[in-house]
């Protein structure tokens, strides 16, 4: 899959494509006519087998959406293609260690998650050999960890950021949203309302007012260190994750300084 048609822009996904993925694919297409979209539900980044099993899958629909958005190749590898035997020690895939920031927030809630993310991205990059890889800002901590890893490991791929795409009611698009009940979806709007409220205190208060939401974390952080922001932090960012109807919701938003 290497550069016979010129440099590749790569959009890695886990499928169940929505307009967030579509915007990344369109962005990729502005860089080159050679856009590869991968669809691979990566077992290594799921800490719950139930979440992995219930993850929505729709390869046929995904291929159509990706091609319509400008992908020139949709690649849905098998688990054995991504994790061949020679990558395993005692039957387990040897994972890349994602380091310090990977233990905070998303990583604390989902132990081992970012090790699994870096391990799959490394394998996908080896197969696709892209010049650019486009990642969504929705997974803010993932984006940070991937960027750091690419820089530290001298990986010759340019990481490009795509903004968060939301539904008209404000809910950030996510493949998992299809599993929300009608009431759950309504309840989920509390998160965008809380993020827009402008201060950490009001954000927490609004989130606490929704009984259907089980919060993993809601913080305002320094985006360069993932330490809790203070009044001197540049570009503080609110990050929120939690559960509604057994569905995990994750989103973030820039905040005014000192909020």
Instruction: Give the residue with the Cβ less far from ligand AMP, 159 or 204.
Output: 159
Give residue 38's region: left, alpha or beta (phi > 0; psi -120 to 50).
Answer: beta
The region of 15-23, 95-103, 190-198, 235-243 touching ligand AMP under the rule CB under 6 A is 15-23
Site string for ligand AMP, 139-168 (x = CB under 6 A): x----------------------x-xx---
The rounded distance, in Å, linking the Cα atoms of 64 and 226 is 38
Residues forming beta bridges with residue 238, ordered by sequence position = 220, 253
Determine which residue in the list 135, 185, 190, 233 makes contact with ligand AMP, applying CB under 6 A: 135
The rounded distance, in Å, linking the Cα atoms of 188 and 171 is 7
The yes or no reply on residue 20 touching ligand AMP (CB under 6 A) is yes
Angle at CA 83, nearest 5°, toward 107 and 65?
75
CB of 167 to ligand AMP, least distance (A): 9
Instruction: Give the residue with the Cβ less far from ligand AMP, 132 or 135.
Output: 135
Number of residues in contact with ligand AMP under rule CB under 6 A: 17
Q: Do β-strands 214-221 and 237-244 pair in parallel, antiparallel, or remain unpaired?
A: antiparallel
The yes or no reply on residue 252 touching ligand AMP (CB under 6 A) is no
The yes or no reply on residue 171 touching ligand AMP (CB under 6 A) is no
The rounded distance, in Å, linking the Cα atoms of 111 and 169 is 32
CB of 222 to ligand AMP, least distance (A): 20
- Where are any strands of DSSP class E within the chain? 9-13, 35-39, 73-75, 88-89, 92-93, 132-136, 158-162, 214-221, 237-244, 247-254
Q: Do β-strands 88-89 and 73-75 pair in parallel, antiparallel, or remain unpaired?
A: unpaired
The rounded distance, in Å, linking the Cα atoms of 107 and 163 is 22
Determine which residue in the list 8, 14, 180, 203 makes contact with ligand AMP, applying CB under 6 A: 14
The yes or no reply on residue 65 touching ligand AMP (CB under 6 A) is no
Active site residue 127: no
| Contacts to ligand AMP by CB under 6 A | 13-14, 20-21, 23-24, 135-136, 138-139, 162, 164-165, 172-175
Catalytic positions, written as ranges: 21
């Amino acid at each position: 899959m290497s550069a016979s048609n010129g440099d590749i822009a790569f959009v890695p996904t886990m499928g169940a494509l929505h307009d967030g993925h579509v915007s990344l694919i369109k962005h990729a297409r502005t860089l080159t006519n050679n856009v590869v979209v991968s669809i691979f539900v990566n077992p290594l980044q799921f800490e719950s087998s139930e979440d992995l099993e219930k993850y929505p899958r729709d390869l046929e629909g995904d291929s159509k959406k990706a091609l319509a958005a400008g992908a020139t190749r949709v690649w849905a590898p098998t688990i054995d293609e991504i994790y061949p035997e020679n990558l395993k020690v005692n039957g387990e895939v040897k994972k890349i260690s994602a380091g310090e920031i990977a233990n905070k927030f998303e990583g604390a809630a989902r132990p081992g998650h970012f090790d699994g993310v870096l391990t799959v991205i490394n394998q996908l990059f080896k197969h696709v050999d892209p010049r650019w890889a486009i990642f969504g800002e929705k997974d803010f901590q993932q984006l940070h960890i991937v960027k750091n890893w690419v820089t530290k490991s001298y990986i010759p791929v340019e990481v490009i950021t795509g903004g968060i795409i939301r539904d008209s009611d404000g809910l950030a698009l996510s493949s998992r949203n299809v599993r929300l009940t009608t009431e759950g979806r309504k309840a989920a709007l509390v998160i965008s309302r809380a993020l827009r409220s402008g201060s950490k205190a009001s954000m927490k208060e609004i989130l606490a007012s929704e009984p259907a939401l089980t919060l993993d974390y809601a913080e305002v952080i320094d985006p360069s260190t993932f330490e809790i922001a203070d009044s001197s932090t540049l570009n503080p960012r609110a990050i929120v994750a939690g559960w509604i109807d057994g569905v995990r919701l994750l989103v973030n938003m820039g905040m005014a300084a000192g909020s």
